[in-house]
C-alpha cells in the first residue's frame, strides 16, 4: 500500500499537468478532485490546493462551488473505485480487428461504377439513386409515371 506522501506526490505531479488558466479552471478542478479521490488524498488538502491554484490563475474561488464540485467528483470516483479491472470489463466486448488496406481492391472499387438500388419491404423497386450532378426536377421529369417515390 502506498504511503500518504507517495499519493500526495503523485497527485501533485498530476495536477501540474493540468491547465490552470481562466477558461479551464472548472475542468482542471474537476480532474484534480477525481484524481485526489482515486489516490486517497485528504479532503482538506485537495480543497486547499485547488483553491490556491485557482487564486494563482487570477480568479477567486467560490467556496460553495468548490465544495459542491469536490463532493460530486468524490462520489463519482468512489462509486467506481471498488471495481477491479475484471469487474469493469464484465460486459466488455473487444473490438473486431481493423481490416488491412488492400491497394488492389481499392483500385478495383474506384474503377467500378456504383449505383445502389433502394428497395423497401412491401413496395416496388425504386430506380437507382442518381448522382447529385442531376437536378431534382430533371429526375422527376425523367422518371416514369408508375415509379414509386419516397418523399422525406
Q: Does a structural domain hold residue 35?
A: yes
- State pLDDT tens for residues 54-67: 999 988 888 899 98
Reported residue count of the chain is 152
Q: Is residue 125 part of a domain?
A: no
Q: What is the pLDDT of residue 14?
A: 93
Residue 93 reports pLDDT greater than 80: no
This prediction has a pTM of 0.52
Confidence of residue 40 (pLDDT cuts 50, 70, 90): confident
C-alpha R_g of the chain: 29
Q: Has residue 61 been placed in a domain?
A: yes
Q: Is residue 26 part of a domain?
A: yes
- 63, part of any domain: yes
Domain residue limits at 24: 4-83
Specify the pLDDT at position 128: 52
Q: What pLDDT is stored for residue 77 in this prediction? A: 76
In a domain, 107, yes or no: no
DSSP 119-147: --TTS--BPPPPPTTS-HHHHHHHS-TT-
Domain total of the chain: 1
Amino acid at each position: 500500500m502506498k504511503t500518504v506522501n507517495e499519493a500526495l506526490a503523485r497527485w501533485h505531479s498530476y495536477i501540474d499537468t493540468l491547465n490552470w488558466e481562466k477558461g479551464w479552471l472548472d475542468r482542471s478542478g474537476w480532474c484534480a478532485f477525481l484524481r485526489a479521490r482515486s489516490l486517497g488524498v485528504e479532503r482538506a488538502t485537495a480543497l486547499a490546493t485547488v483553491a490556491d491554484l485557482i487564486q494563482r490563475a487570477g480568479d477567486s474561488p467560490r467556496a460553495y462551488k468548490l465544495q459542491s464540485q469536490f463532493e460530486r467528483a468524490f462520489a463519482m470516483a468512489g462509486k467506481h473505485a471498488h471495481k477491479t479491472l475484471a469487474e469493469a470489463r464484465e460486459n466488455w466486448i473487444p473490438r473486431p480487428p481493423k481490416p488491412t488496406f488492400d491497394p488492389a481492391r481499392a483500385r478495383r472499387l474506384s474503377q467500378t461504377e456504383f449505383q445502389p438500388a433502394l428497395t423497401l419491404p412491401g413496395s416496388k423497386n425504386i430506380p437507382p439513386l442518381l448522382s447529385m450532378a442531376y437536378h431534382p426536377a430533371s429526375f422527376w421529369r425523367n422518371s416514369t409515371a408508375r415509379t414509386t417515390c419516397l418523399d422525406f
